Amino acid sequence: MALEEVVVTEAIMTEYYNKFMSSLELDVAVVGAGPSGMTAAWRLAEQGANVALFERKLAIGGGLWGGGMTWNTIVVQTESRHILEEAGIPLKEFKPGYFTADAVAATTILASKAVLSGVKFFNCITVEDLMLREIDGQKRVIGLVINSSPVEAAGLHVDPLVIKAKYIIEATGHPLELLQTLVRKNDVRLNTPSGGIEGEQSMWAERAETDTLNNSGEIFPGVYVTGMAANAAMGSYRMGPVFGGMFLSAEKVAKEIACKLGK
Ligand code: 48H
């Protein structure tokens, strides 16, 4: 078979263009393809929402690949077992209530579930800012300001592009990048005890896991926070390589947004 290089180029340009064009006005834009972002995106897309996921790195997965200290096994508790089982991630019970999963299996299976449910992945894209509006006297986030990650890495002065979304999910993990930007640049109050970012605390796994679930939700009009970002925003603890709270937090946020979208 003849192989024309320009056809390959045309195929990539056309397909990516179509994916991008269908993401200009989303139901949900997820920022960060770690365990919480991918789980929330999967749960929403499988209910028919128009969802795109933006990830700065070339590789999706966030902290899920690495297990604990690069020993690539993760631990989840009984409460979150159903989510992994539904995804088809094999689990082993190590001791009563403590389940392990291969971190590579967890990452790849979760990513497959998301992409096959219709989530449009945009890896190598950095979300550098948010789009704000005042609606009925209240400020609301209505979209994302995005740029190519290599542009960011090279420090080039290249202006970004924008996509709109009814809801944004902040799933950037420990650095809490989106909310940091929102608070730094704008005179806004978050739905936190102080109105600002409370900041992550040290290790206390049991407390952190419960808090992750409680802290996940709408933190600013149009912005939901999930995963480690929820604890960083609300001032709770870290939990190390226990991932149950990440999955449960994403499931909670996806349910709340699906309900608002009438799904
Ligand atoms: C695009 C961005 C941007 C940006 C960041 O860190 P993650 O894995 O986040 P979670 O919350 O799904 O999972 C947390 C977990 O991995 C973890 O770190 C745990 C449990 N720690 C406990 C402990 O004690 O340490 O993924 C976040 C993703 C990453 O892939 C980033 O590259 C990406 O978000 N990201 N993508 N634009 N501005 N900022």
**Total number of domains constituting the chain:** 1
C-alpha to C-alpha distances, 130 to 1, 3, 26, 179, nearest whole angstrom: 47, 42, 14, 9
Q: Whose CA is nearest to atom 39 of ligand 1?
A: 172
- pLDDT band, residue 41 (cuts 50/70/90): very high
Find the CATH number of the domain harbouring 114: 3.50.50.60
Please report, rounded to a whole number, the percentage of residues in the chain having pLDDT higher than 90. Answer: 99
Residue 133 located in a structural domain:
yes
Per-residue pLDDT, averaged over 152-177, amounts to: 98
Nearest ligand 1 atom, CA 227? 11
pLDDT for 1 beyond 90: no
pLDDT for 167 beyond 90: yes
Residue 176 located in a structural domain:
yes
Per-residue pLDDT, averaged over 141-165, amounts to: 98
DSSP state for residue 4 in the 8-state scheme: -
Gyration radius of the chain over CA positions: 18
Nearest ligand 1 atom, CA 54? 1
Residue 239 located in a structural domain:
yes
Residue 20 located in a structural domain:
no
CA of 229 to the centre of ligand 1 (A): 8
Please report, rounded to a whole number, the percentage of residues in the chain having pLDDT higher than 70. Answer: 100
Mean pLDDT rounded to a whole number for the chain: 98
Residue 256 located in a structural domain:
yes
Residues spanned by the domain of 245? 50-261
CA of 175 to the centre of ligand 1 (A): 8
Nearest ligand 1 atom, CA 60? 30
Residue 43 located in a structural domain:
no
Q: Whose CA is nearest to atom 24 of ligand 1?
A: 240
Q: Are 205 and 244 in contact (CB under 8 A)?
A: no
54 CB less than 6 Å from ligand 1?
yes
| pLDDT tens-place string over residues 13-27 | 999 999 999 999 999
DSSP H helical segments within 127-204, as ranges? Answer: 149-154, 177-185
CA of 3 to the centre of ligand 1 (A): 40
Q: Whose CA is nearest to atom 5 of ligand 1?
A: 172
| pLDDT tens-place string over residues 191-200 | 999 999 999 9
Residue 224 located in a structural domain:
yes
Residue 109 located in a structural domain:
yes
